Chain A
C-alpha cells in the first residue's frame, strides 16, 4: 500500500513537472517556431523555386537561384555577386578590427576609473545606440557630405578628389559600421576586464620583463571570452548590414544585405534573394561555430555562449 502510494505520488510529481515545463515553455517556444522558424523555412524553400517572369517564386523546384548567386546567368559567368560577397567580408573584417582596436582600450580605461563613475561612463558609451540606426547613419550623412568641414579637410589633405564629399563612399560605410557597433564591443569587454584577476597580472608582471609580454600572457587570455562575445555581436550584424551601405555607400558599397533586400524591395527576384539569405545564414553559423571552437580551445569555456 505504502509503496504504491509513494509510487503514485512520485508519478504525480513527474507529471506535474512535465506539465509545468509544458506551460512555461510552450508559449514562447511556439511563438518563435510559428513566427520565425516556419517563416525562415518557407524562405529557404523559396530559394529552391523558379523565378517567375516578374520576380515571384514559382514551381518547379530548381537550383537556378544558387547558380545565379554564384554568378551564372544568361550572360555566362559574371563577377558582380562575388564582388558583393567579398566586399561584405572585407567590410565586416575591417570594421570589426577597428571596433576591437577602439573598444579594447576604452573598456580597460573604464575599469581603471573610480567605481562610482563606471556606470555613467558605460551609459555614455551606450546612449548613442539607443537612437535609431537610421538616425545615427543620417548624422554621418550630414557630417561627410561635400562641402562640410570634414570633407574639406580630407580634400585639403588630398585624400579625396576635389568637389567630392567623404560620403558617399566605402570609407563612409566602414565609418558608419564602426560607429554603429562600438558599444556592442565595449560592453562584453568591460565585463571581462572587470572580472580580471589582478593577482595573476601582478604575478605576470614579476615573471615577464616586458609589460607587453605580461599583457599578452596574463591579461589578454582573461579578456578573451568578452572579446569573442563582442566579435560575435559585431561581425554577424555587420555582415548582414542593410541600412548603412544603402545610405552611405552611394551605389559603390553594395553589400550582401543590400543584394538580398533589393530582390524583395526592388521587385526583381525572390528566389535569388532567398538564396542570398541562405548564404548569409551559413556564414553566420560558421562564424558562431568557429568562435565557440576558438573560445573553448583557449579556455573561455561556457562563457562564450554569446
Chain B
C-alpha cells in the first residue's frame, strides 16, 4: 500500500517537474525557414521588448504545414510560409486574421505586395522576403550549360554527373512542366501526368542523387555530392559569401522555360500562445531599417519600399533582382486545393515511390 502511494507521488512529482521545464515565460516562438534570419535582429528584438525568442526551423512548406497540423497551431507565434501555402493555411483555419491597427509599419510594404493574389487584401499575411528558385550548377563540370531545365531533365545534356531536384513536389513538378513546354505554373492533368512520367524517368537515372530541399541542396553542391541542383538565389549568395572557395565555380541560373518566384510572408497561427508579441515582431520586421538589415543579411529582395535606401548594392542586381526578361518568365507556384491537390499528391507520391 505504502509503496503504491509513494510511487504515485513520485511519478506525479517528476511529471510535474517535467512540465515545469516547459513553463511559459515571456517568449516568442518563431517558426521560420533555416538560415533565414539575422541573429542580430533577434537580439535587437529581444532587447527592445525584453522577451526570449525561441526559433524553430523548417526546410520546406509541406514540412511546415504538417507541423502546424500536428499541434503546432498552438505552439508558434509567428510562421513564415510561402505564397502558395498561404491560402491553404487560411482555409484550414490554422491562422488568424491580422489586426492591422497593431501593425504601424504596414505602410512600408511595396504596392505590389499590399494586395497579393495569394491573400487578397493582405488580410492574413505580411510579406517577409521574396526570391527566385533556380538551378545552381558547377561551371567546371558544365562549362557550356544551357540556360534551361535540360541540365536536370535531359540525360544527354548531363549524362555523367550527380544532380538532385527539390523535395517539395510542387516545385519539382513545376520545373518538369516548364521543361516539357507546359509552363512552370501548369495545373492541367495532362501536363502533370507527363511531368510525373518525366520525373519518374529522371529519378531512375543512375546519376540522380535524391530529392533535396533548397537550403541543403547548396551544401551538397559545395561538398561535390551533386553538380547541379535546385535552390534559392539568396541562399546561394549567402553561402557563397560564407564559403567563397567552395562556391567559386558555382553559378545561379534561371531557366528560359520559366521558373519559380516566391514570396514568404509572416502569419500568426490561430492559437498562438503570445499573439501580442507576434504583432510586435511582425511590425519590427516591417520597419525600414530592420527590413533592410534582414535583406542585407540573407541576400533576398525586400518587399519593403521604405527599406530601399538602406539596401546593399548587391541586392539591386541579378540574381537577387532578376533581369527584366527573366522576371517576365517567373511565375508563382500555383495554389492547389480540393480534388486538384489530392490528385497532385497522388502523382507526387507515385513519383517518390517508383
Contacts and interface: CB of A to CB of B under 8 A. Distances in A.
Q: Tell whether A pairs with B.
A: yes
Interface of A: 23, 27, 51, 53-56, 68, 73-75, 78-81, 83-84, 145-147, 160-165, 168, 249-252, 254, 259, 262, 264-269
Contacts of A147: 224
A27 B92 contact: no
B169 to A, nearest CB: 9
Given A266-B66, A268-B345, A80 B210 contact: no
Given A80-B354, A161-B207, A254-B352, A75 B343 contact: yes
Contacts of B349: 80-81, 259, 262, 268
B25 interface: no
A53 B338 contact: yes
Interface in B302-354: 337-339, 341-343, 345-347, 349-354
Contacts of A162: 160
Contact of B206 (A23, A80, A161): A161
B341 A53 contact: yes
Contacts of A79: 354
Contacts of B210: 168, 249-252
B142 interface: no
B153 to A, nearest CB: 15
Contact of A164 (B162, B337, B345): B162
B31 to A, nearest CB: 14
B165 to A, nearest CB: 9
A71 to B, nearest CB: 9
A163 B341 contact: no
Interface stretch (B1-9, B258-266, B276-284): B1-9
Contacts of B70: 264
B38 interface: no
B207 A164 contact: yes
A146 B353 contact: no
A67 B206 CA distance: 32
Nearest to B349: A80
Nearest to A22: B4
Contact of B353 (A51, A84, A165): A84
B227 to A, nearest CB: 8
Nearest to B70: A264
B56 interface: no
A191 B4 CA distance: 36
B62 interface: yes
B122 interface: no
Contacts of A164: 162, 206-207, 209
A268 B62 contact: yes
A147 to B, nearest CB: 6
B96 interface: no
B62 A266 contact: yes
Given A56-B69, A146-B224, A266-B63, A163 B162 contact: yes
B100 interface: no
Contact of A23 (B4, B225, B352): B4
- Which of A81, A259, A266 is most buried by chain B, counting CB atoms within 10 A of its CB? A266
16 contacts: A27-B7, A27-B8, A54-B65, A54-B341, A56-B69, A56-B92, A73-B346, A74-B339, A80-B354, A81-B353, A145-B223, A146-B224, A164-B162, A251-B211, A267-B62, A267-B66
Given A75-B350, A165-B225, 18 more contacts: A23-B4, A27-B4, A27-B8, A51-B342, A54-B65, A54-B91, A56-B92, A75-B347, A80-B350, A80-B352, A80-B354, A160-B206, A161-B160, A163-B227, A249-B210, A252-B203, A267-B63, A268-B62
B161 interface: yes
A250 B209 CA distance: 6
Top 6 closest A-B pairs, CB basis? Answer: A250-B210, A267-B66, A80-B353, A80-B350, A267-B65, A251-B211
- Which of B193, B339, B347, B349 is most buried by chain A, counting CB atoms within 10 A of its CB? B349
Interface in B200-223: 203-204, 206-211, 223
A252 B62 contact: no
Interface of B: 1, 4, 7-8, 11, 62-63, 65-67, 69-70, 88, 91-92, 160-162, 193, 203-204, 206-211, 223-225, 227, 337-339, 341-343, 345-347, 349-354
Q: Does more than half of chain A's interface fall in helix, strand or loop, or is it mixed?
A: loop
Contacts of A74: 339, 342-343, 346
A86 B67 CA distance: 29
A163 B225 contact: no
Given A168-B210, A251-B210, A23 B66 contact: no
A182 to B, nearest CB: 26
A115 B70 CA distance: 52
Contacts of A23: 1, 4
B62 A168 contact: no
A256 B174 CA distance: 27
A235 B144 CA distance: 49
A42 B101 CA distance: 43
A87 to B, nearest CB: 8
A168 B211 CA distance: 11
- Which of B4, B63, B161, B209 is most buried by chain A, counting CB atoms within 10 A of its CB? B209
A298 B224 CA distance: 53
A165 B220 CA distance: 12
A281 B3 CA distance: 37
A163 B350 contact: no
A145 B225 contact: yes
A265 B7 CA distance: 36
Contact of A83 (B63, B193, B353): B353
Contacts of A160: 206
A68 B342 CA distance: 11
A49 B162 CA distance: 41
Nearest to A147: B224
A259 B348 CA distance: 12
A179 B161 CA distance: 29
A105 B19 CA distance: 49
B1 A54 contact: no
A130 to B, nearest CB: 24
